[in-house]
């Protein structure tokens, strides 16, 4: 990416950028719970997350 803006707040006004609201919504919808994942007959270099 060229010229990307990765800050969640505006650098001069400290107002939230649109990505802030996306991150906030994602956090509220997904929560902090982690599921147990079992892998069977997969290579040793495969990682699984849920």
Residue-wise DSSP of 1-50: --S----SB-TTT-PBPHHHHHHHHHHHHH-S--------S--TT-----
Instruction: Compare 23 and 41 and report the one with higher pLDDT.
Output: 23
Average pLDDT, the chain: 83
Q: Are 10 and 17 in contact (CB under 8 A)?
A: yes
Domains of the chain: which residue ranges? 1-50
Percent of the chain with pLDDT over 70: 90
Instruction: Tell whether the model's pLDDT for residue 5 goes beyond 90.
Output: no
What's the CA gap between 31 and 29, in Å, rounded?
6
pLDDT for 1 beyond 60: no
- Is the pTM above the cut of 0.75? no
Tokens of 1: 């990416």
Report whether pLDDT(46) > 90. no
CB 20 within 8 A of CB 10: no
């Amino acid at each position: 990416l060229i010229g990307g803006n990765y800050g969640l707040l505006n650098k001069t006004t400290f107002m939230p950028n649109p990505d802030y609201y996306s991150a906030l919504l994602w956090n509220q919808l997904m929560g902090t719970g982690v599921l147990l994942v079992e892998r069977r007959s997969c290579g040793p270099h495969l990682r699984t997350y849920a």
